[in-house]
Chains A and B, each alone.
Chain A
Amino acid sequence: MPKVISVHSFRGGTGKSNTTANIAALLAEQGMRVGVVDTDILSPGIHVLFGLVEEKMVHSLNDYLWGSCNVEDAAIDITANLGDSVKGKVYLIPSSMKTGDIARILREGYDVGLLNDGYERLIKQLNLDFLLIDTHPGLNEETLLSIAISDVLIIVMRPDAQDFQGTAVTVEVARQLSVPLMLLVVNKTPQIFDSQMVKKRVENSLRCEVAAILPHSDEMMALASEGVFVMKYPDHPMVRMLKKVLDYFQK
C-alpha cells in the first residue's frame, strides 16, 4: 500500500524541507519510488536541495492548479542528482518560483480539492510507494488538507519555547483529523543538551512519539541547502538517526 507522508512544522526555519528531502533520499536508496510535492506554494524551496535549476521546471504545481497540465506532467525525475547509490526513484513536483505565479495564487486562490485529487493521481500515474508532502509552515488550508489525508505526519521542531507552543497546536489539529501515525522530529538540538532529557520532556509535554532528536550540525549548516545531507555525508551519525525515523512507518 502506498503511503502519504506529510512533513510539517508550525514555524519556519526548523529544517522541514531538509528533513523531507533526506527522508525521500533514504527511501529511494532502499529502492522505493518516491514523489515529493512542494505545497509550500507561497514560499517554495525544496527544489534547491534536489539541485533543480529553475530552467528545468517545464511545469510546476501551479500549472496543474490552473488547469494547464496534468499533475504528473509537473513531476521531474531528480534521482540522478542524488548519486549512484540510489536504486529507486525520486520525483519532485515543484512550486513555481516566478513572482507573478506566487502573486496569482495570493490573488485568486485555487480549488484546494485539486490537491487531494492530484495526490491520488500522482501515486497512480507514477506508481509511487511513498508520496511526501512538504507543507507550508503554520496552518493553512492546503496544510490541513494534506494532514487530513496523510497516513503519517512528521512534525519538525527545534527545542525552543516558541516551537513548543506552535507544535502543540499542530499536534492537536492532527489528533482532531485522526492522523494514523504522528511523529515528532526534534531538530537543531544544541550539542550541550542531553538528547534523552529532551526526548522525555517533549514527549511528556506534547504526548506524542519522538522519532528522532537530531543534533545541531555544522556540516548541515555548511552544506547550506546545496544538496541532500544523507547523500553527501552517508557516514554521519545523523544518517543513522534519520534511518530510524523510517522504521516507524516501514515496519
Chain B
Amino acid sequence: MNEKLGGILIVADSGIINETLVQTLFSLTQRVMIVNEAKQALALAEAGPFNLVLFAARLPDMTAQEFLRQIKNADSANAVATLVIGDPDQDVELEQCLQAGADDFLITPISEGLLRARVQFVLEHNRLRHQHEPSLENAELLKIEHDIQVARRIQAGFLPTELPKPGGWDVAACFQPAREVAGDFYDAFMLSQNRRLGFVIADVVDKGVPAALFMALVRSLTRAFAQQNYSINWTDILEAGTSAQPFTRRQTRAIPSTGTMALKNAVQLTNNYITENHMQDNMFATLFFGMLDPATGQLAYINAGHNPPVIFDGNGNLKLELKPTSMAVGMMPDTNYSIEFAQIDPGDFIFCYTDGVTEARNAGGDFFMEDRLFELLARPGTTARGLVDHVYAALQDFMTGAVQFDDITMIAVVRQPERF
C-alpha cells in the first residue's frame, strides 16, 4: 500500500462507522479520513488520491451513484478501490452502486473482523489488478516510447553514414540530440560529377518530435533539389513585365558556375516548397549550405540565418566568419538567396555548428559561448575528427551535472596543408 499518498477515505456518519471500526482501519493504514458529505470527500480526493473510499449508500448531498461516478472521474490513475455500505433495506441502492462500478459492499451492522477482511480483500484485489494489467495510460506511454525509438532509428538514417573525403580534404561531423529525436541535421555529399563537395548544417526551430519531422523534410528537400539540374531564376530579368534593371556585367556572381545552381536550387526551392505547403505550421530552419571546389578551395555558400561558420587558418587564427546572407528557410515566401564566396587555403578549415554548442549550459547556468569555442578551434594541424571530438569533449566536460537543452551538431571540413 502506498503510505505516502494512499489511505482510506470514509464518507458516512458515525452511526455507520463507529470509533471502534475507525481504529480497525487505522491498524491497516496510517491515513484515515472521515467526512459526512460527498462534496467534502470529493474535495479531499481531488487534493490527493486514496487507496480506498468507503461510502454510505445514502449520502446527504448527492446520490451514492453520482458520488461514485465523480470519485472515479477524479481518480485519473484508475487506482482507487470503492466499498459501499448500506442498511439491509437498502439493497436497491447497493445494487445500483455495484452496477456503477463499486468494487464490493458491506451490510450494517458491520463487525470488526468482517470490515478488516473485506477491506484487505478489496485492496489486495485492486493491487493485483494493477500489477497484472498496466493501466491504459502506462500502455499508451509504452507505445509512444516504442514509436520514439523507431523514430530515432529512422532519423539516424537521415544522416549520412559515410562522409565524402575528396583528395586533400578531411571531413568529420558530430550529432548529439538533446532528446531522443532532434531538429538538427548535417549532410555532406559530392555533386556535379564529383567536382564539388556540398555540405550542410541546419537547425530547425523547436525540439523533439515536431522538429524531427520538419528536419526530415528539410534534409530530404535540400538533398533532392541539389541533385537536380533544374534551371534557376538567374534569368528572371528576362521575364516580361519585370521592372528589373538590366543585368550589370559586374554581377558575374549571378551567372551560374559549376555547382552554384545546385546550391541555389537546394535552398530556394526548399524555401518555396515549405512556404507554399507548411506556412501554417510556423516552422523554419536556419541552414548553411557550402559548395566547395576541392581543386581550388573556393567555397560558394548560402547562409540562411544560421550562426556563422568560421574559417581558421593553419596558424590557428580566425580568418573569416560566414555571416548570414539571408533569412532562415521557411520564413518568407519568394526569398531570394544570394550566393557568397570564400576561400579555404591549404591548412585552413571551416567549422560549422548549431547554437546547441555555444548555448550549452553548465550546472551553474552559464553558457559555453563563442569565446570558449574559438579558443578550442585555435589548434592548428589537427584532423577533422580530432577537431570535432576535441570540442565535444570540452562540451561534455562543461555540461557535467547539467541538462543538455539543445541539440549539438558540428561539421568540420579541413584542407590538408600542401606538402613540399
Decide if B261 touches A180 in the complex (CB within 8 Å). no
A99 at the interface (CB under 8 A from B): no
- Distance, CA A103 to CA B258, complexed state (A): 22
- Distance, CA A175 to CA B256, complexed state (A): 19
Task: Scan B117-148; emit 1 where CB is below 8 A from any A CB, else 0.
Answer: 00000000000000000000000000000000
B229 at the interface (CB under 8 A from A): yes
**Per a CB cutoff under 8 Å, which of A113, A149, A177 touches B192?**
A113
B260 at the interface (CB under 8 A from A): yes
A66 at the interface (CB under 8 A from B): yes
Decide if A116 touches B257 in the complex (CB within 8 Å). yes
CB closest residue in chain A, given B229? A109
B49 at the interface (CB under 8 A from A): no
- Distance, CA A164 to CA B331, complexed state (A): 46
CB closest residue in chain B, given A120? B257
Q: Which of B192, B229, B246, B259 has the most CB of A within 10 A?
A: B229
- A96 CB to nearest chain B CB (Å): 16
Decide if B193 touches A66 in the complex (CB within 8 Å). yes
CB closest residue in chain B, given A67? B193
Decide if A111 touches B237 in the complex (CB within 8 Å). no
**Per a CB cutoff under 8 Å, which of A66, A68, A110, A117 touches B257?**
A117
Q: Cβ of B192: which chain A residues have Cβ within 8 Å of it? A: 67, 111, 113-114
Decide if A176 touches B246 in the complex (CB within 8 Å). yes
CB closest residue in chain B, given A151? B249
A202 at the interface (CB under 8 A from B): no
- Distance, CA A144 to CA B255, complexed state (A): 10
- Distance, CA A114 to CA B248, complexed state (A): 21
Q: Cβ of A78: which chain B residues have Cβ within 8 Å of it? A: none
Q: Cβ of A141: which chain B residues have Cβ within 8 Å of it? A: 231, 235
What is the interface residue range for chain A against chain B? 20 to 34
Tell me whether chain B's interface is mostly helix, strand or loop, or mixed: loop
Instruction: Given A111-B258, A112-B261, A113-B257, decide whether A67 and B194 contact each other with a Cβ distance below 8 A.
Output: yes
- Distance, CA A173 to CA B255, complexed state (A): 15
In the complex, which residues 124-172 of chain A have their Cβ closer than 8 Å to any Cβ of chain B? 141, 144-145, 148-149
Tell me whether chain A's interface is mostly helix, strand or loop, or mixed: helix
A30 at the interface (CB under 8 A from B): no
Instruction: Given A108-B229, A149-B255, decide whether A113 and B260 contact each other with a Cβ distance below 8 A.
Output: yes
Q: Cβ of A117: which chain B residues have Cβ within 8 Å of it? A: 257-258
- Distance, CA A126 to CA B61, complexed state (A): 103
- Distance, CA A68 to CA B192, complexed state (A): 11
Number of A-B residue pairs at CB separation under 8 A: 63
Decide if B229 touches A116 in the complex (CB within 8 Å). no
A43 at the interface (CB under 8 A from B): no
14 contacts between A and B (CB under 8 A): A65-B193, A111-B262, A112-B261, A113-B192, A113-B257, A114-B195, A116-B257, A117-B257, A145-B255, A148-B247, A176-B246, A176-B247, A177-B247, A178-B248
CB closest residue in chain B, given A115? B256
Having A148-B255, A176-B237, A178-B249, one finds 14 other A-B pairs with CB under 8 Å, namely A109-B228, A109-B229, A109-B230, A111-B192, A111-B229, A111-B259, A111-B261, A112-B256, A113-B259, A116-B255, A144-B235, A144-B238, A177-B237, A178-B246
- Distance, CA A117 to CA B259, complexed state (A): 10
- Distance, CA A48 to CA B258, complexed state (A): 30
In the complex, which residues 233-292 of chain B have their Cβ closer than 8 Å to any Cβ of chain A? 235, 237-238, 246-249, 255-262
CB closest residue in chain B, given A139? B238
- Distance, CA A45 to CA B255, complexed state (A): 27
Decide if B256 touches A145 in the complex (CB within 8 Å). yes
Task: Scan B176-214; emit 1 where CB is below 8 A from any A CB, else 0.
Answer: 000000000000000111110000000000000000000
Instruction: Given A67-B195, A176-B237, decide whether A113 and B247 contact each other with a Cβ distance below 8 A.
Output: no
Q: Which of A110, A114, A145, A180 has the most CB of B within 10 A?
A: A114
